[in-house]
Structure 1
Amino acid sequence: MKRKIYQDLLNWKQHKKGTTALLIEGARRIGKSYIVETFAQNEYESYILIDFSKVSPQVIEFFSLYLDDLNTLFLNLEVYFRTRLYPRPSPDAEARSLIIFDEIQFCPCARATIKHLVKDHRFDYIETGSLISIKENVQDIMLPSEEHSIEMYPMDFEEFLWALGDEMLMPYLKNQLQKQKPTGNFHRKAMDYFRQYLIVGGMPQAVLQYVKTRNFKEVDEIKRDIISLYSNDIRKYAQKQAIKASAIFEEIPGQLQKHEKKFTLASLNKNARSRDYAEAFFWLSDAKIINCCYNATAPNIGLRLNEERSTLKCYMGDTGLLVSMAFDERAIVSEDLYRKLMFGKLEINEGMLIENIVAQMLKSSGHRLYFYSKSSRIDSNDRMEIDFLISKASTTNRHNICPIEVKSGKNYTLTSLKKLMTKYSNYLSTAYVLHDGDLKIDEDGIVYLPLYMTPFL
């Protein structure tokens, strides 16, 4: 399936020309290995893929025995994998052969060799993995400065449309946004697609099954397998944080269904403190299983400088997985429930799913996640709760922050958003409301965007 990250790989190959290795980080089952091998097949004369999750100990030994004799190292790799490697014809030329270090977290010593391999400059190198930066995977090695790191996410909404065979809708929607015009007759079509994306999510296996069958039940079985894989990974690799990380992971749907979506540690343990669970949250975030959204104490430039890490919201990295976690009374989500989700007829509050998918889309578009929350017993004008804050692409002296409110129903108020606009007018750029209606702009300058336009922000 077509993925946008392919262009990033191509840019790296053409512009870096072997001066760095490429490190691709991401959650399990999002298609890292698939896209890298597809890239290797299309863009190189030959490649070797070393999957460190299952490779022979003999191959791992090559990297410790022959680091000072790269000729022998490459010869051994060629013989073992029965693949000829072609050296780069000149220092400024693009490489002819690629060596892929797949699941590199299982072999830190191989990652440590990147410095020497890049300096040798014969071939290109791509590393993939998850849990790359946790202490257990880096404590005994010197991290190579010759790595260029990029993050990979589940399939975004446009990639989902590509998988369904529609490559024209998103450019049309983007054009309508630029002209600030409603989508009109195409709004319902776009919302139908969006709801399918909400249910299926962006895990490539699940999307592929949906493309083949259009059967939500079969898709759900795949998603449950991925959830089980994540649960097992937490128990196996989180070590001292395993119990706490598992508790957080299992609690996510319950936390998000609350009106106040900030994660309440007391639900895990009445004596829990944020400092006790900080490493567990970091582990899940580093594994790309969750997306943490932190409270910014002021909606001004430099949101990270105002970050309050003790107050956070915890979203699932993929909303399709959240759907399968949230509705698991019979282990399989029924077709009837999926139909209700498709047509917005679910009896429960859909806000948890809508807010989660907005967080997912903002994250995959390159935004760090922040919200704004302030309470006051003295002045009601100081009591505000804003779902998300994002920074403009270019920084100016004033008006840098865009507040975002996410609305899942037809009847809602914008009390907090209007309070924020009044109090912090010098800090704020465009204010957005993401809803299931069409594009419009009201007399206060608030831009109402359909949910499917979130990736354009």
Structure 2
Amino acid sequence: MYLKRKIDEYLLEWKQKPDKNPLIIKGARQIGKTESINHFAEINYDNIVYINFVFEQKYKTILSDGYEVENIIKNISLLDPTKRFEPGKTLIVFDELQEFPDIATSLKAFKVDGRFDIICSGSLLGVNYKKIHSNSVGYKTDYEMFSMDFEEFLWAKGYSKVHILEILEHMRTGTAFNETELNVYKKLFLEYCVLGGMPAVVKQYIETNTFTDTLEIQNQIRMDYEEDIRKYAEGLDQAKIASVYRSVPVQLAKENKKFQLSKVTKNSRSREYTGCIDWLRDAGVVSVCNCLYFPELPLKGNYDDTKFKLYYPDTGLLISTLDEEAQEDLRANRNLGVYKGALYENFVAEAFLKQGLGLYYYKKENSTLEEDFFVRTKTELVPVEVKANRNRSKSLRQLIENKNYSDIHWGIKLADSNLGIENNICTFPYFCTFLLKRYLAERD
């Protein structure tokens, strides 16, 4: 069973380019990179040369005669004479790039040679990407992949692009959803929150139509991530990295969600964790939300890198850190206390990350003014508030009405409610979050 992914269309467009670069697909483990590449390859190529540097370590010698294409092909053929190289009809896949990053140096030669299409893939865990980038700059195209987003989950459940466009049309026009629409999409959204977007988890759910065994798969994925920390985090304190990773759910449950290293271990200092958070972010297993100095444009460079929040890029994995009863409570939409706000905030951060939106928040010192997230149009800064309750949006209203915040004219509230627009605040149900980038683009 293959689950349709957004990368499918991207790969087709890449193949059709007459002067294409070798492609590097990067992302965290177990998000479906290899499965999507193999699905694309089987449909579109007469001949596939697939090499996995984890399971087939003998291929780590293929550069022994240098980086020229002819020498690499010769050495691959010596190791496996059944592999065929037909010009114009062959895709070469170098998988698990992090195990043999030197192969990236050959991408320039493959690009200049032009006879074969090349796709490299690897988890960010352990990838010395600076080295890979410097060795192939100008001769590669990067694509960052994530676990399935809510739109891909809807596809897996049988919903079409027509349904997606209907949701977007509600957002465009400010028209509330009818009772059927609201109930169906809210139920689907809660399923997605619990499951997350890891293809193995979603596939298990789709095939059985139950949540049985999905938690076990999620727990195994998190254990695999921690095993990769021990395997790949060279030159850093692996125990500290693992401690930061495990601390994210605990700190999100607190009222002040700013990540505090002092809460990881007693009397810890930030300099002791230098590089740990960067490693986790580059590995794709946490995402970093930066605190703005001031709520104004531009966003890049306008933040304090000592103040940040950390999220899991897959909310299903976050929920799997709780007990099994908590998953059942969420599916039943029962109260989870402080965790409910944390989970929905994590979902919004995940949705923003997968749309390519930056992660920024604001908290004014010595004040109650704070805002969960910010997005932007070409000319405006838009505050985004995530509401887990029915309380009024005081900070959102203050940001819109205060003339000191000249880039802000309207705001977005994401809540467990229907859609509505009032007093320059657009209220959207949580399940609309995956369409915010498209919605903002149409407002420009």
TM-score (norm. length: structure 2): 0.91
User: Structure 1 CA distance, aligned partners of 2:435 and 2:372?
Assistant: 17
Report matched runs for 1:235-254 at 5 Å.
235-239=230-234, 240-254=236-250
Is the Cα contact below 8 Å between 2:126 and 2:233 reproduced in 1?
A: no
Q: Residues 236 and 428 of structure 1: is their aligned pair in 2 closer, same or farther, counting only changes over 3 Å?
A: same
Task: Say if 2:163 is the partner of 1:183.
Answer: no
Could you give the per-residue CA deviations for residues 336-388 of structure 1, whole angstroms, max 9, x where no partner exists?
x4332112113433011111011001110111111111122xxx5xx411000
Q: Residues 44 and 430 of structure 1: is their aligned pair in 2 closer, same or farther, counting only changes over 3 Å?
A: farther
Could you give the per-residue CA deviations for residues 196-241 of structure 1, whole angstroms, max 9, x where no partner exists?
0000000000000000112223110110110110111112211323
Q: Residues 48 and 401 of structure 1: is their aligned pair in 2 closer, same or farther, counting only changes over 3 Å?
A: same
Q: Residues 454 and 128 of structure 1: is their aligned pair in 2 closer, same or farther, counting only changes over 3 Å?
A: same
Q: Is the deviation greater in 425-434 or in 281-290?
A: 425-434
Is the Cα contact below 8 Å between 1:52 and 1:103 reproduced in 2?
A: yes
Partner SS, residue 124 of structure 2: coil
Task: Say if 2:385 is the partner of 1:386.
Answer: no
Q: Once the 2 structures are TM-superposed, how far is the Cα of residue 72 of structure 1 from its aligned partner?
A: 4.4
Task: Say if 2:26 is the partner of 1:25.
Answer: yes
RMSD, matched Cα? 2.0
1:213: which partner in 2? 208
Amino acid at match of 1:359: A
User: Structure 1 CA distance, aligned partners of 2:132 and 2:122?
Assistant: 16
Q: Is the deviation greater in 433-442 or in 209-218?
A: 209-218
Is the Cα contact below 8 Å between 1:108 and 1:141 reproduced in 2?
A: no
Report matched runs for 1:260-271 at 5 Å.
260-271=256-267
Q: Once the 2 structures are TM-superposed, how far is the Cα of residue 47 of structure 1 from its aligned partner?
A: 1.3
Amino acid at match of 2:72: L
Partner SS, residue 174 of structure 1: helix
Task: Say if 2:309 is the partner of 1:318.
Answer: no
Q: Residues 284 and 99 of structure 1: is their aligned pair in 2 closer, same or farther, counting only changes over 3 Å?
A: same
1:330: which partner in 2? none
Amino acid at match of 1:430: W
Is the Cα contact below 8 Å between 1:47 and 1:97 reproduced in 2?
A: yes
1:232 to 227, 245, 248: 227
Could you give the per-residue CA deviations for residues 249-269 of structure 1, whole angstroms, max 9, x where no partner exists?
111111010111111111123
Task: Say if 2:190 is the partner of 1:195.
Answer: yes
2:388: which partner in 1? 408
Is the Cα contact below 8 Å between 2:353 and 2:359 reproduced in 1?
A: yes
Amino acid at match of 2:84: R
1:450: which partner in 2? 429
2:164: which partner in 1? 170
Is the Cα contact below 8 Å between 1:373 and 1:386 reproduced in 2?
A: yes
Is the Cα contact below 8 Å between 2:341 and 2:387 reproduced in 1?
A: yes
Unmatched segments (≥5 aa) in structure 1:
89-95, 328-332
Q: Once the 2 structures are TM-superposed, how far is the Cα of residue 77 of structure 1 from its aligned partner?
A: 2.9
2:341 to 347, 351, 359: 351
Task: Say if 2:109 is the partner of 1:116.
Answer: yes
Amino acid at match of 1:4: K
Q: Residues 274 and 143 of structure 1: is their aligned pair in 2 closer, same or farther, counting only changes over 3 Å?
A: farther
Identity %: 32
Q: Once the 2 structures are TM-superposed, how far is the Cα of residue 78 of structure 1 from its aligned partner?
A: 4.6
Partner SS, residue 372 of structure 2: strand
User: Structure 1 CA distance, aligned partners of 2:90 and 2:410?
Assistant: 48
Is the Cα contact below 8 Å between 2:24 and 2:143 reproduced in 1?
A: yes
Unmatched segments (≥5 aa) in structure 2:
437-444
2:61: which partner in 1? 61
2:440: which partner in 1? none
Q: Once the 2 structures are TM-superposed, how far is the Cα of residue 81 of structure 1 from its aligned partner?
A: 6.3
Q: Once the 2 structures are TM-superposed, how far is the Cα of residue 83 of structure 1 from its aligned partner?
A: 3.2
Is the Cα contact below 8 Å between 2:14 and 2:20 reproduced in 1?
A: no
1:259 to 252, 255, 262: 255
Q: Residues 81 and 270 of structure 1: is their aligned pair in 2 closer, same or farther, counting only changes over 3 Å?
A: farther
1:85: which partner in 2? 85
Q: Once the 2 structures are TM-superposed, how far is the Cα of residue 272 of structure 1 from its aligned partner?
A: 2.9
Partner SS, residue 433 of structure 1: strand
User: Structure 2 CA distance, aligned partners of 1:338 and 1:255?
Assistant: 19
User: Structure 2 CA distance, aligned partners of 1:286 and 1:67?
Assistant: 27
Is the Cα contact below 8 Å between 2:101 and 2:127 reproduced in 1?
A: no
Q: Is the deviation greater in 77-86 or in 252-261?
A: 77-86
Q: Once the 2 structures are TM-superposed, how far is the Cα of residue 66 of structure 1 from its aligned partner?
A: 4.8
Is the Cα contact below 8 Å between 1:262 and 1:313 reproduced in 2?
A: yes
User: Structure 1 CA distance, aligned partners of 2:125 and 2:192?
Assistant: 29
User: Structure 2 CA distance, aligned partners of 1:13 and 1:72?
Assistant: 25
Could you give the per-residue CA deviations for residues 396-435 of structure 1, whole angstroms, max 9, x where no partner exists?
3xxx2110000122x2121111222223442014300000
Amino acid at match of 1:361: A
Is the Cα contact below 8 Å between 1:30 and 1:155 reproduced in 2?
A: yes
Task: Say if 2:403 is the partner of 1:426.
Answer: no
User: Structure 2 CA distance, aligned partners of 1:375 and 1:268?
Assistant: 23
Q: Once the 2 structures are TM-superposed, how far is the Cα of residue 26 of structure 1 from its aligned partner?
A: 0.5
User: Structure 2 CA distance, aligned partners of 1:161 and 1:139?
Assistant: 35
Could you give the per-residue CA deviations for residues 72-91 of structure 1, whole angstroms, max 9, x where no partner exists?
43244356162322213xxx
Q: Residues 242 and 42 of structure 1: is their aligned pair in 2 closer, same or farther, counting only changes over 3 Å?
A: same
Partner SS, residue 432 of structure 1: strand
Report matched runs for 1:89-104 at 5 Å.
96-104=89-97
1:440: which partner in 2? 420
Q: Residues 244 and 56 of structure 1: is their aligned pair in 2 closer, same or farther, counting only changes over 3 Å?
A: closer
Q: Once the 2 structures are TM-superposed, how far is the Cα of residue 64 of structure 1 from its aligned partner?
A: 2.6
Q: Once the 2 structures are TM-superposed, how far is the Cα of residue 141 of structure 1 from its aligned partner?
A: 7.1
Partner SS, residue 371 of structure 1: strand
**Number of residue pairs matched by the alignment:** 428
Could you give the per-residue CA deviations for residues 249-305 of structure 1, whole angstroms, max 9, x where no partner exists?
111111010111111111123433334324100100001001110101122222112
Amino acid at match of 2:222: I
Amino acid at match of 1:431: G
User: Structure 2 CA distance, aligned partners of 1:135 and 1:67?
Assistant: 19
Task: Say if 2:7 is the partner of 1:9.
Answer: no
